[in-house]
Amino acid sequence: MTDAQPAIRVNHVTKSFRVHLERNQTLKEKILYAGRAKYRDFVALRDVSVDIMPGESVGLIGVNGSGKSTLLKLMSRILYPDVGTIEVAGRVSSLLELGAGFHPDFSGRENIFMNGALLGLSRREISYKIGEIIEFSELGDFIDEPVRSYSSGMYMRLAFSVAVAVDPEILLIDEILAVGDAAFQAKCMSRLKELRGQDKTIVIVTHDASAVERFCDKVVWMHNSRVRMEGQPVECIQTYLATVFRAANEGANTMSFDRTGAHPDHTNSSSLADEATGEERVDTDPMDLRWGTGDVVIDRITVTSSMGEGLVKCGDPLDITMHFHVVRSVQDVDFGVGIFSEEGTQCYGTNTRVDRHQTISLEVGTGHVTFRADNFCLLPGTYAIDVACSAADTQAHDYWRKASKVQVFSDRPDVGICRIPHDWELIRDTASIEFARM
Amino acid sequence: MVSRIAEVWQYRAMLWSLVLSELRTRYRGSFLGFLWTFINPLLMLLVYTFVFSKIMKVVMPHYPTFMFIGLLAWNLFASGVQSSSSVIVRQGSLVKKIYFPREILPLSVVGGSVINYAFSLVILIPFLLVSGFYPTFYWFYIPIILLMETILTVGLALLFASLTVYLRDLEHMLNIFMMLWFYFTPVVYSLSMLPGRMSVIFKFNPVADAVLAFQSVLYYNQSPHWKLFVYGCFVSIVLLLLGWSIFNRLSRRFAEEV
């Protein structure tokens, strides 16, 4: 298979949508506003080229509105490109929405036939597979009840069971991995892995980075209507997560129609450098958030990791640096930090005194002190940081609540508050153990 | 074009399933349920018979029979086209979420109309027998005439289904237009009732050709007027090709417009 043809070839595709500012769909409006229709073009895809080889599992990632679902819809021929071509070789089954076309008045069994037909299965194929479908759905006696009476979880189970029973060469999936309870999700995942094992070409749009990393051979990252990055899952996802969270910190994730300015290579490298010196905003109501004698004043805080300002990947090193100036000389002070979750839970707090650092006395002047964590192990979320400089009797010289924030992201779906540093050790006593990639 | 047909054929299970669910849901929840499929034409027959024989006093032998034959043929056409005109918008959730040849939707509507026509024959045929019209060999023309009318209906159904997506008024304009068309089709009167020259206009109306053919076969016990019938077939096929090519062109943006 040296020069195999791609299963899907997306060739310089551009697709824009008309966004009607006022919908002129009646005759009156069409005549009245003829020639000055009120719409603007929204470019959902701009010169996108992607090749997907047979048997590849590809994850499409990107923030909302980045064009990934549009790309998937183009691949499944629901939409057509304005410019460029899309060639798809093989029988396609697209699962853009589970249960589209379910009829609430009909029983689960009847809906299997109808939905299967919608997905292009013949009646005979469905009859042949119906036992398997019902078994997979685990709906039991409910299968002969009208779908109207189903819970939403049951509805999804039925829909997914039909969807995966389709035996396509190319499977296009949009955001449907989060189906049902945990046990059923695992089942869905293993069914997808089975399909992957059968050398099916699979394209998945999802926000579940860990699923992509475990499941896909390749990742295509869509950003602002273009392909931003394409390649190894681990690499793509880490860069993606870092960029997305940084943007979230800057409040730059607001969607905008106008993407003409968004160049493909206007990327993190430049903005990273810009931000390293960025100053923190002081909160609007400093009275509640800041108090102290004023003998020592903390001027600004920088929170930095290798990912940039205010952003860290769980498990990476993080520095919190306080720049201060001393107004009057003080004896025996300590510097402290406190880290709080969004709910206000204190996740960690310490100071130089607690940590038995040597006694600090300060003369008039300026300086800075850094809290350096080798392994910042809090799990993903936004955390507020308090900093303080206090005297021995806990009288604050400067206590600054919510002085800064840090955004933590992760490429692993572990749960809890923090990632306890750990290893796994597995020792074979009698059972035979095989190791294989998940 | 051949590949389009092949694809529609491949999706025949979906087509059939849509036709069935349409037929099954139409009267769902009503007390008489599926019986309405038969009761409807029967009641229609009674009303028209009463109006035209007792009130209007049309002097034509077996007038209710004559009219009923034409009315059923007309209903097949009118319901197929009218219901198709909104089918893409009605089934918007499917159009946006699933790929399938879009032709399936109007085809399923017309398919439902044809099947309804077949059911109404269950009323028509006993009625013919009771009124003294016995089966003749001309009845073998029925499937051919039905095919021609179906082709015509599909052509216009495709045309209006695609246009209505972009111009929603069309659905309502079509209602009035169909009413007008109905009176330009010899259903409640026969061509011989018209003043001389006027009947020429009617011959250009392809629906009239289908209705006239049904009347020839079932009422007059003749074979259809072959020139008219060939003309009707020709127009139907032209309209089908026209409707289909417009549908094809417009269907590319359906998912964005519904």
Same domain, A208 and A301: no
DSSP state of A173: E
**Which of B147, B161, B159, B150 has its CA nearest to residue B245?**
B159
Is A428 a member of any domain? Answer: no
Type of residue at B244: W
Last residue of a domain, one of A145, A163, A181: A163
Q: What is the pLDDT of residue A269?
A: 35
Residue B98 CA to residue A135 CA, distance in Å, equals: 25
Instruction: State how far residue B98 is from chain A, nearest Cα, in angstroms.
Output: 7
DSSP-derived secondary structure for A338-389: EEE-TT--EEEEEETTTTTPPPEEE-SEEEEEEEEESS--BPSEEEEEEEEE
Residue B117 CA to residue B111 CA, distance in Å, equals: 10
Same domain, A150 and A219: no
**Which of A58, A87, A12 has its CA nearest to residue A172?**
A58
Residue A212 CA to residue A219 CA, distance in Å, equals: 8
* C-alpha A235: how far from chain center: 14
**Is the CB of B98 less than 8 angstroms away from the CB of A100?**
yes
Mean pLDDT computed over every residue of chain B: 87
**Is the CB of A120 less than 8 angstroms away from the CB of B100?**
yes
Same domain, A110 and A197: no
Residue written as token pair 């069914």: A191
Q: What is the pLDDT of residue B200?
A: 73
- Bridge pairing between strands A365-373 and A318-326: antiparallel
Same domain, A327 and A396: yes
Last residue of a domain, one of A134, A163, A192: A163
* pTM value > 0.95: no
Check which CATH number belongs to the domain holding A296 and give it. 2.70.50.60
Instruction: State how far residue B251 is from chain A, nearest Cα, in angstroms.
Output: 9
B253 phi/psi in degrees, rounded to 5: -105, 10
Same domain, A174 and A192: yes
Is A78 a member of any domain? Answer: yes
Same domain, A209 and A62: yes
Mean pLDDT of B162-181: 91
Higher pLDDT, B30 or A22: B30
**Which stretches of chain A drop beneath a pLDDT of 70?**
1-3, 20-27, 29-39, 176-180, 248-288, 431-438
ipTM confidence: 0.77
Residue B77 CA to residue B71 CA, distance in Å, equals: 10
Q: Which residues on adjacent β-strands are paired with residue A383? A: A406
Contacts A117 to B, Cβ<8 Å: 11, 13-14, 16-17
Is A327 a member of any domain? Answer: yes
Q: What is the pLDDT of residue B4?
A: 84
Residue B157 CA to residue B20 CA, distance in Å, equals: 19
Is A356 a member of any domain? Answer: yes
Check which CATH number belongs to the domain holding A52 and give it. 3.40.50.300
DSSP state of A208: -
Type of residue at A97: E
Classify A119 as helix, strand or coil.
Answer: coil
Contact between residue A78 and residue B97 where contact means Cβ atoms under 8 Å apart: yes
Contacts A126 to B, Cβ<8 Å: 13
Type of residue at A405: K
Q: What is the pLDDT of residue A12?
A: 92
Same domain, A341 and A302: yes
- pLDDT of A380-433, one tens digit each? 888 989 999 988 877 888 888 888 888 888 888 888 889 998 988 887 777 666
Q: Which domain holds residue A378?
A: 286-409
Q: How many domains does chain A fold into?
A: 3
Q: How many CB pairs under 8 A join A and B?
A: 71
Same domain, A319 and A368: yes
Last residue of a domain, one of A196, A227, A250: A250
Q: What share of chain A is helix, strand, coil (3-state, %, to 5)?
A: 25, 35, 40
Interface residues on B facing A, Cβ-Cβ cutoff 8 A: 10-14, 16-17, 21, 25, 28, 93-100, 166-169, 173, 252-253, 255-256
Instruction: State how far residue A318 is from chain B, nearest Cα, in angstroms.
Output: 45
Residue A241 CA to residue A268 CA, distance in Å, equals: 12
Same domain, A393 and A322: yes
Mention every residue, 6+ apart, whose C-beta is less than 8 A from residue B198.
none
> How large is the angle between the packed helices B63-85 and B104-130, nearest 10 degrees?
170
**Shortest CA distance from B26: residue in chain A:** A105
Same domain, A117 and A231: no
Q: What is the pLDDT of residue A276?
A: 35
Is A269 a member of any domain? Answer: no
Same domain, A176 and A72: yes
Same domain, A386 and A290: yes
Contact between residue A382 and residue A405 where contact means Cβ atoms under 8 Å apart: yes
- Bridge pairing between strands A311-313 and A396-409: parallel
